[in-house]
Amino acid sequence: MFNGGHRCAAVIAAHRSIPVMICWDADSTTFDVIDVGRRRSAYQFISETEAAARASAARVTLWYERRFDRPLQPRHIGFDLHEIMTEAENRSAAFDAMVPSARTTYEYTGLPLSVTLGAYAIAFDFGYQEEVEAFVRGIADPLGLEIGDPARLLSERFRRQVHRSRRRNLVDDWTILVRALNFHLEGRSAQHLQLSEYWPRVAELEADFNRRRNALSKARKGHEHAVVRDTRKSGAA
């Protein structure tokens, strides 16, 4: 079967019938794009502008909501297609409002739209749209800002070509963006933007993030030591 094989198999397995549209004498050029080996992606089914960015940001927000205290591995976040589309639809208003800010941040820092749009959409839901927009204006034009201003720190760090072109993982991008944003929301200056293997939450106080990070690291190290002890006991036995 050239196309629809999985659907046919699902119908057989479910012992149910479904309505099927049959088109006779179809234009042969349609088969240039049907089952050509490309993977289906959520953005193909999202009609708004920046569809790919919305789909990627939806993955990030899903991870934020469901698996937050784990380090982000693997780099590509896997969710079912319908989950991504539902999340993108539910956050449509936030994405509409924050796409310009996310696009500007990407243009001036190279931070991926999946990270910037996801973080800004969460901040939008918390009621921080104006604060985010002011933060992004500082990234685009940092010259008048104080040395410790988080928008200026972020802008200067990513305008260094060596850092901007360096391959980073999603946790690093999220950490440096959200920590800078959180300093801005708190109205505090910062000396540096330290990376972490755990995600800081949007609008989380820096002190709260440090306490949570230390507790998670301590718990993980304790678990690793317990596994090592069990392994040694098993080997001795």
Residue 172, pLDDT score: 86
What per-residue string of b and e applies to 71-94 under the rule 16 or more CB within 10 Å gives b?
A: ebeeeebebeeeebbebbeebeeb
Residue 216, pLDDT score: 86
Q: What is the mean pLDDT of the chain?
A: 84
Q: Are residues 94 and 125 in contact, defined by beta-carbon separation less than 8 angstroms?
A: yes
Q: CA-CA distance, 72 to 64, in Å (whole number)?
A: 10
Residue 33, pLDDT score: 59
Going by pLDDT thresholds of 50, 70 and 90, the confidence category of residue 48 is: confident
Question: What is the per-residue pLDDT across 105-116, written as a single tens digit (0 to 9) for each?
Answer: 999 998 999 999
Higher pLDDT, 197 or 143: 143
Q: Are residues 181 and 132 in contact, defined by beta-carbon separation less than 8 angstroms?
A: yes
Residues 6+ apart with CB under 8 A from 42: 55, 58, 81, 84, 85, 88
pLDDT of 199 > 90? The answer is no
Going by pLDDT thresholds of 50, 70 and 90, the confidence category of residue 43 is: confident
pLDDT of 11 > 90? The answer is yes
Residue 77, pLDDT score: 64
State which of 24-33, 132-141, 172-181 shows the largest mean pLDDT.
132-141
pLDDT of 62 > 80? The answer is yes
Question: What is the per-residue pLDDT across 113-154, written as a single tens digit (0 to 9) for each?
Answer: 999 999 999 999 999 999 999 999 999 999 999 999 999 999
Going by pLDDT thresholds of 50, 70 and 90, the confidence category of residue 69 is: low
Q: Quick one: tokens of 46?
A: 């999202």
Residue 232, pLDDT score: 61
State which of 63-67, 81-85, 185-189 shows the largest mean pLDDT.
185-189
- Phi/psi at 107 (nearest 5 deg)? -65, -35
Count CB neighbours of 146 within 10 A: 8
pLDDT of 74 > 60? The answer is no
> Widest CA span of the chain, in angstroms?
72
Residues 6+ apart with CB under 8 A from 178: 119, 199, 200, 201, 202
pLDDT of 162 > 60? The answer is no
- What are the residue boundaries of the structural domains of the chain, listed by start? 46-204, 205-237
Higher pLDDT, 30 or 187: 187
Poorest-confidence range of 13-17, 175-179, 223-227? 223-227
Q: CA-CA distance, 190 to 147, in Å (whole number)?
A: 9
Residue 230, pLDDT score: 63
Q: CA-CA distance, 192 to 165, in Å (whole number)?
A: 20
Residue 236, pLDDT score: 64
Q: Between vectors from CA 154 to CA 99 and to CA 142, what angle results, nearest 5°?
A: 85
Which pTM was predicted?
0.76
Average pLDDT of the segment spanning 68-77: 56
